[in-house]
Amino acid sequence: MTIKQALIRATEILTANNIEDPRLEAEILLRHILKTGRVQLYLDFDQEISPEQDEKFWGLIKRRLNGEPTAYITGHREFYGLDFYVDPSVLIPRPESELLVEKALELAQNRPVSTIAEVGTGCGAIAISLALNRPQTKIYATDTSAAALKVALFNCQKHGVANRICLLAGDMLEPLPEPVDLIVANLPYVRESELPQISTLNFEPSLALNGGADGLEKIRRLGTQISGKLCPGGSLLLEIGQKQRKAVTTFWHNLFPSAEIEVTADLSGIDRVVSLTLPLNPF
Ligand code: GLN
C-alpha cells in the first residue's frame, strides 16, 4: 500500500466513525509511524509503506477509533506554536487556552509584571509559553498532581526554561512563597453533569476537568486562597466555560468590589477569559 492509499483508507474509516478532522488525524498518525514531516509525507505520496509500518499504522488507527486522543497516542501536542509532550496524567492543551496566554502577554506589556503564577499548570504549556515570551519574568507554576509536575518539568527542560519556571506541588495558590503581579489559571470548570459530553473523558484526568455541580467549585476555592497572593495593581486571568460569565464575574466582583473586571470572547465567540485587575491603592 502507498502512503496515499493508506491515508485515503484511514480517512474513510475515521470519517465513518465520526472522528473530527479525519484527514489531519490520519496524517498525524502516519507521520508518527514514518517519523516524517508533513512536506516529506506529501513528497513521498506514491511510495510504498512496509508491511510492518502498515501494521503499526492500523494499530494506531484502532486506538484512535477506541476514543484515545491522538495527542496521547503520539505524545505530542502543539500549543502557542510550541511542541509539548503530553501523556494521560495531564489535560491536552486546548487551542482556546491560547487566549489566556495572549491576554497575559498583553497585560504584561501595559503594566509592570515581574512575577507570574500559573495555577494548575498540567503539562506546563501556558507557563512555558509565557516564559519564552517574557524572558525577564519570574514564573511560578503549581499543580496538585505529582505526575503532572513531572510532565511539566520535562517540557520546561525541552524548552530550556527549567531554571526560569519554579514548579511547586500543592493546591492552587497555597505553595506560592510570595505575592505575584499576575495569576493565570485554567482551572477545571466543566459541570459534573456535562462531563460525559467530553469525548476524551475516558482518557484525560477528570481532576483537570471536573468543576463540581455548577462547574465553579475550583474557581470559588481560588477566591478563598487569593488574599495576600496578588500584589496591589495585580491581575488575575481565568479561563471559563460557556454560560459561566455572569456567575464568575459576580463572584469576583463581590470579593473585590473595586477591581476592574473584563471578559474576552474566544474565536468562536464564547466568553472565555475573565480578567480582574486590583486597584494600585486599595483605599
Ligand atoms: N475547555 C475544556 C473542555 O471543554 C475544559 C477545560 C477546563 O475544564 N479547564 O474540554
38 C-alpha vs ligand 1 centroid, how far in Å?
29
Q: List, as one string, the DSSP characters of the chain.
A: -BHHHHHHHHHHHHHHTT-SSHHHHHHHHHHHHHT--HHHHHHTTTSBPPHHHHHHHHHHHHHHHTT--HHHHHTEEEETTEEEE--TTSPPPPGGGHHHHHHHHHHHHHS---EEEEES-TTSHHHHHHHHH-TT-EEEEEES-HHHHHHHHHHHHHTT-TTTEEEEESSTTTT-SS-EEEEEE----B-GGGGGG-TTTTTS-GGGTB--TTS-HHHHHHHHH-TTTEEEEEEEEEE--TT-HHHHHHHHHHH-TTSEEEEEE-TTS-EEEEEEE--SS--
17-36 tens-digit pLDDT: 999 999 999 999 999 999 99
Query: Could you tell me the pTM of the whole model?
Result: 0.94
192-220 tens-digit pLDDT: 999 999 988 899 999 999 999 999 999 99
- Looking at residue 241, its amino acid is G
Task: Check pocket membership of 126 for ligand 1, CB cut-off 6 A.
Answer: no
Q: What per-residue confidence (pLDDT) applies to 26?
A: 97
End-to-end Cα distance, the chain: 73
Comparison of pLDDT for 74 and 282, the residue scoring more: 74
Distance CA 25, CA 19 (A): 9
219-265 tens-digit pLDDT: 999 999 999 999 999 999 999 999 999 999 999 999 999 999 999 99
Flag whether pLDDT at 282 surpasses 70.
no
Helix (H) or strand (E) holding 255, with range, is: helix 245-255
Q: What per-residue confidence (pLDDT) applies to 281?
A: 78
Q: What per-residue confidence (pLDDT) applies to 55?
A: 97
Mutate to test the pocket of ligand 1, among 98, 119, 186, 193 (most ligand atoms within 8 A of CB): 186
Flag whether pLDDT at 139 surpasses 70.
yes
Task: Check pocket membership of 99 for ligand 1, CB cut-off 6 A.
Answer: no
Q: What's the mean pLDDT when you consider all of the chain?
A: 96
